[in-house]
A and B are shown apart, each in its own frame.
Chain A
């Protein structure tokens, strides 16, 4: 308190609970919407929606779109768009599938050789990076609008994948590769909890380290009880998430197929849980890295500056053309990683993989509060957006809503979400 009186002699205004916690009200609104959706579906499905099994499935179904949505945030923040992500995903998936099923075995690697999945993934990431960089070069250096470049890419890249595979479904994929797909690669109870505890420790350390740095600079800080409440909320959220995922038990018939995979010698009398899927861990890692990039690197700062005022960014000496190349390259790499998750979840590559994903990804980013006018957007928002979309879709499927009606609802939700966001921004006086 002594710090405050030294810097700002103005009397402290009485502040509301939310202000005191300095939580993003937009984030709270989205979490509220998500919880509402979940509760409504839970009632409509007689409690089947909020079971560990369904929550587990929901998370692994969201991963692929959510990974790409984190990159789409950067693209949209700089006032561009990428309509080709689903097609790039298909092209990368095709190359990775061909590499592990045809090319490497054709070169004399035995099926199941340890190097196969990693070479395949590296090839996919390289292809994604190249496609993205090429798109970025056309947009940044040649001045072709991103809408046109990626609309072309939307038609081109899926069909490049088709050519690679002759339109065939390629599979089965490598066993190790399929660990990234979700249900085939989970960490079990113990490891999941270890990761959960590490996450909790990091969250608490992060909260209090930020406070320490602020105090060192004599900046005003939140009251101690607010910091402690945040730490408690974070701990509860992480523990709850891990708790749900580790209470989904491996069904007996799955166990009987391969008991060793779940740490049992014989299937009888052995109980195991799935725990945290590797794909979800991958998403969490990507989300963390992308958040750090957005907030703590020059690259991220330049992305937001360019989105806010491209001329100002240029005049400040930022190379906005190269920045565009880097952003689209990153988007391409994320498409490749999403392709790993999407194809391994289905255990093979088919040509229609990721169809319409561009729309889901853009919708996720936009529902998550990314403004198409540029300069505004968050990584966690995009992931929550993806989760809300997926919840709606699988919830409606569980309730038995007709397919056309499902799409009508999702479309309406997208428009309403943006409408609410615009109204909210007007209220808050922000741009």
Chain B
């Protein structure tokens, strides 16, 4: 099977700091790959090169077996890569529909934005993702963390993402909402999406992911199938930067 995403020997530096150093990682359809590591290990930076937020210094990205050119978030969208950011990339002053369609507004025949149609579509998808979601007219600043997250997820789902990047998707959420996101991840997996998941929570990652990749100081420590390792193995990879099985 061709991998959905292959990042080969990717590097990026910020003013002398090698944030990501010669890292390779891949992702298959219907698979969740978790990225683990300390703060500053380079997880978010690695993933931002895939989502087009950063431009890599060297290396290649292959999507579906074809070499891809990703220089901006717009490029990433052409490859059906959607990102749900840690910082929740929503415009707080706009309502849910405007955020969902931001950058890809539905328009009328005259070229004006079609708010009513966007609201109708938003109602539809929200009924599926989060039936409790009712505040369609209010700016998203008035929503709870979970509701805001569901707007961000709705954006990815609505536009038929093939590759989904979730950067700490549950960091701002309560217990119930976290469970909701976990369910959604399983659902999206079944539909054949590939998901990169970034989190600090090792236990959560063991539950949600098929494989975990551990980074330290910008380098890839190793990638393991979750059934082959224990939580302690993962922790020692994160802390010591060594793969216990390779050492053994």
Contacts and interface: CB of A to CB of B under 8 A. Distances in A.
A313 B73 CA distance: 10
Contacts of B134: 8
Contacts of A318: 102-103
A301 B97 CA distance: 12
Contacts of A217: 116-117, 119-120
A189 to B, nearest CB: 35
B91 A315 contact: no
B69 interface: no
- Report which residue of A216, A314, A376 has the largest number of chain B beta carbons within 10 angstroms of its beta carbon: A314
A395 interface: no
Nearest to B90: A312
A315 B112 contact: no
A296 interface: yes
A301 B142 contact: no
Given A298-B105, A313-B102, A304 B53 contact: no
Contacts of A309: 89-92
Contacts of A317: 72-74, 77, 103-104
A315 B165 CA distance: 13
Contact of B102 (A218, A292, A316, A431): A316
Contacts of A311: 87, 89
Contact of A314 (B73, B111, B142): B73
A294 to B, nearest CB: 11
Interface of A is mostly: helix
B112 A296 contact: yes
Given A296-B112, A298-B105, A298-B107, A305 B91 contact: yes
A217 B106 CA distance: 15
A431 B119 contact: no
Interface string A107-150: 00000000000000000000000000000000000000000000
Contacts of A298: 105, 107, 113
B147 interface: no
Given A217-B119, A217-B120, A305-B102, A315 B89 contact: yes
- Report which residue of A214, A300, A309 has the largest number of chain B beta carbons within 10 angstroms of its beta carbon: A309
Given A312-B89, A316-B89, A375-B91, A305 B73 contact: no
Contacts of A218: 120
A106 B51 CA distance: 60
Interface in A305-335: 305-309, 311-318
A213 interface: yes
Q: Which 8 A-B pairs have the closest CB atoms?
A: A308-B91, A308-B93, A375-B93, A316-B103, A317-B74, A312-B89, A296-B112, A305-B91
Interface of B: 51, 53, 72-74, 77, 83, 85, 87, 89-94, 98-99, 102-105, 107, 111-113, 115-117, 119-120, 134, 139, 141-142
